[in-house]
Amino acid sequence: MNARPLAQMSRFNIATLAMGLAFLYLPIVVLVIYSFNASQLVTVWGGWSLRWYQSFFNDQAMLAAAAMSLRVAAVSATLATVLGTLAAVALTRGERFKGRTLFSGMLYAPLVMPEVITGLSLLLLFVALGAERGFWTVTIAHTTLTMCFVTVIVQSRLGGLDRSLEEAAMDLGCNPVRAFVAVTLPLIAPAIAAGWMLAFTLSLDDLVIASFTTGPGSATLPIRIYSEVRLGVKPEINAICSLIVGSIAILIVAASLASKLSSGRGQNAAPM
């Protein structure tokens, strides 16, 4: 890749780039700036202040929702990572079993399925099963949602891995399970980490599926924010949202760094 310095780009290119970025990020920038607003009113600037951050950290209901969200995200991301990795291994490593194409197609369905439908169908399922809605129903719902993302990431990494590495491990005295743990797992670990972080982020984000599957007393942060906003936007919401944006940005950067790290290894480089 030959990246050109900004100075060499035409004015038109710079203008379109700036407009595109502004379209994407201006609302977020405004939100972050207004989270430091000292004024009571959301739309009136009253100078810099951290009072809304302070008020968030004193808002017990909001903090409980945030804790709930983090717990759901951590547990569902972990479950999704385990299941998604197993699915990826089955799809790339397993013998070509019957219905493999169908299985992989079905696995990707949640990627394109409207969330309302996923949420509604899960709600119907939980009601039919008589499950008490709360932490676990949201967690399970998020696991179904995010598992396919983990599978996609891990599968692409596994596909690029030389099959003979595992064979070499077996040749050197590992049984198949040990060979996987000793050789394959360390090599796909960055992809697994990236998958976990993505699943965590997606779960933290989700409003639609969570609102279908949650029960009384276990509102996640997005649900809590949404219900607060319906009563009128408090500047405190801006502070919370800024915190969420910040943490998600960190996770996304970490995830992409992890997958970049993983693609650098694994293949024997061409002979020099």
Partner 1 sequence: MANAISSTITAETGAAGSPLLRIDAVTKKFGGFTAVDGLSLDIKAGEFFALLGPSGCGKTTLLRMLAGFETPDAGQILLNGSDIAPMLPHQRPVNMMFQNYALFPHLTVRDNIAFGLKRAGLPRKEIKARVAEMVALVRLEGLEKRRPDQLSGGQRQRVALARALARRPQLLLLDEPLGALDKKLRENTQRELLELQRRLGLTFVVVTHDQEEAMTMADRIGVMNAGKLEQVATPRHLYEEPVSRWVAEFVGDINILEGQISRRDAGRLMVSVPQAGIVAAVAPQGASDSGNACVAIRPEKIRLSRRAPVSDTADGHAINRLEGAVSDIGYLGGASIYTVRLDGGAMLRASLANTARLDVDAFGVGQRVVAWFAPDDCVVLGR
Of the pair 58, 267, the CB lying nearest partner 1 is at: 267
Residue 216 identity: P
What is the per-residue binding string for partner 1 in 21-60, x denoting contact by CB under 8 A?
----------------------------------------
Under the criterion CB under 8 A, does residue 272 sit at the interface with partner 1? yes
Which positions ≥6 away from 88 have C-beta within 8 Å? Answer: 150, 151, 154, 155, 158
Report the distance separating Cα 30 and Cα 238, nearest Å.
Answer: 9
Under the criterion CB under 8 A, does residue 89 sit at the interface with partner 1? no
Q: How far apart are CB 140 and partner 1 at their closest, in Å?
A: 34
Under the criterion CB under 8 A, does residue 178 sit at the interface with partner 1? yes
Of all helices (H) and strands (E), which one includes residue 99? none
Of the pair 27, 186, the CB lying nearest partner 1 is at: 186
Of the pair 132, 162, the CB lying nearest partner 1 is at: 162
Under the criterion CB under 8 A, does residue 172 sit at the interface with partner 1? yes
Of the pair 231, 272, the CB lying nearest partner 1 is at: 272
Q: How far apart are CB 157 and partner 1 at their closest, in Å?
A: 13
Under the criterion CB under 8 A, does residue 183 sit at the interface with partner 1? yes
Of the pair 184, 242, the CB lying nearest partner 1 is at: 184
Under the criterion CB under 8 A, does residue 102 sit at the interface with partner 1? no
Q: Which tokens in the block code for residue 255?
A: 């995830």
Which positions ≥6 away from 104 have C-beta within 8 Å? Answer: 91
Q: Is 193 helix (H, G, I), strand (E, B) or coil?
A: helix
Instruction: Count how many Cα atoms sit within 13 Å of the Cα of residue 180 in the half-sphere of its side chain.
Output: 9
- Is 248:85 a contact under the CB 8 Å cutoff? no
CA 162 → CA 177, 186, 195, 266, distances in Å? Answer: 17, 14, 21, 7
Q: Which parts of 137-166 interact with partner 1 (CB under 8 A)?
A: 162, 164-165
Report the distance separating Cα 47 and Cα 153, nearest Å.
Answer: 45
Count of residues near partner 1 by CB under 8 A: 25
Under the criterion CB under 8 A, does residue 173 sit at the interface with partner 1? yes
Of the pair 153, 183, the CB lying nearest partner 1 is at: 183
Q: What is the CA 150 to chain-centroid distance, rounded?
A: 9
The binding site for partner 1 (CB under 8 A) comprises 162, 164-165, 167-176, 178, 182-183, 186-187, 265-269, 271-272
